[in-house]
Amino acid sequence: MNARKHWLSYTLLAVVAWGIWGAFSDLPTKRGFPETLVYVVWALTMIVPALVALHRAGWKLDRDRRAVALGAAAGLLGAGGQLVLFKVLTLAPAYLVFPLIALSPVVTIIMALAISRERASRRGWLGIGLALLASVLISYSPAGDGLAKGYLWIVLALLILVAWGVQAFVISHANKSMSAESVFFYMMLSGLALIPVALAMTDFSQPIEWGPNGPWLAAAIQILNACGALILVYAFRYGRAIIVAPLVNAAPPVLTMILSLLVFQRMPHFVNAIGIALAVLATLLMALEEEKRPGT
C-alpha cells in the first residue's frame, strides 16, 4: 500500500485524540486550575510523544538551520496563538471569538494553493467548503451576558486565525524536507520556550487547585492534546494541506459533542447539530477525494 494511504489513518487518530481531549479539557479550569497553567502542563506533556517519536526514528534529528527554523516556526505559531487566545477571551465572549478563529484553514488553503500548488476536484472543494462552514457552526454558542470590549479583540482573533492557518501550512511544507519527528521535536521545544510567558500571565493571587484535580488532571487530559499534535504532523506528512487542515478543524468537535452528550448530558445547540451533520458529510467527501488521488 502506498504511503499516502496513511493520511486518513493519522487524520482520524488525530480527530479521536482531540475529540476526547476537547470533551474534558475544561475540567481542570472549572476546578480551579488556571488556563495559563494548563498551557504549562500541556507544554510539558509534549515532551513524552516527542521523545517516543524520536526513539522510533532511531534518534535521528534534522539539525540544519532550515529544519530548526521551520520546526520552531510551527511551534511558536501554534503555542503563541494559544497564549494570545487567553487575552482575547478577556476582551470578548467565546461565541464571538471561536467562530472567527475556526476559519484558520482558509489561510492554510490559500498558502497551499499559491505555494505548494495543491489542487482538488469539485468533490474535494465541496468537502472543503462544507468543513469550513461546519467549523463555524460547531464553534457557535448562544450569546450570553458578556459583551466585547472595544475592537482590539478582533485584531487579536485575526492574528490567531492567521497564526494557526500559517502553522498548518508550515507543518505540511516542512514535512517535504525534514522528518515528521524533527518537526514535532522543535514544536515541543518552542512550546516549552513560551512557558515563562504563560507564567507571567497567571494571576497567582487567586486560589489555585494544586491537588489531583489541578496539574495532575490537566496532565492526564493534555497528553491527548500532545499526542494529537504529533499525529497531526504525520497526517500532514502523507496528506495534502488543503484536505487535512479543514478536516482536522471540523471533525474533532463532532466527537467532543457526542462525548459531552453521553458523559455530561450536554445537548448541542441546533446550530451545532447542523455543523455536526455537515462535518460528517465533509469528512466523507474529502476522504473519497484523497483516496482517489492519482498515485495513491
42-100 pLDDT tens trace: 999 999 999 999 999 999 999 999 999 999 999 999 999 999 999 998 888 887 888 89
Does the residue 202 lie in any domain?
yes
What Cα–Cα distance (Å) separates residue 9 from each residue in 6, 32, 232, 235?
A: 5, 36, 10, 8
Output DSSP code: residue 2.
Answer: -
Does the residue 296 lie in any domain?
no
Residues 3, 236 contacting (CB under 8 angstroms)? no
Residue 265's pLDDT is 82
Does the residue 112 lie in any domain?
yes
Name the residue among 241, 223, 222, 221 with its Cα closest to residue 233: 241
- Report the alpha-carbon distance of residue 19 to residue 4 in Å, rounded: 24
Compute the radius of gyration of the chain from its Cα atoms: 19
pTM for this entry: 0.91
How crowded is residue 76: how many other Cβ atoms within 10 Å of its Cβ? 20
- Report the alpha-carbon distance of residue 91 to residue 94 in Å, rounded: 10
Does the residue 221 lie in any domain?
yes
Q: What total number of domains does the chain contain?
A: 1
Kindly report, residue by residue over 133-165, the tens digit of the pLDDT: 999 999 888 766 566 777 898 999 999 999 999
Domain carrying residue 167: 3-291
- Calculate helix-pair angle for 94-101, 152-174, nearest 10 degrees: 30
Q: ∠236-240-243 over CA atoms, to 5°?
A: 100
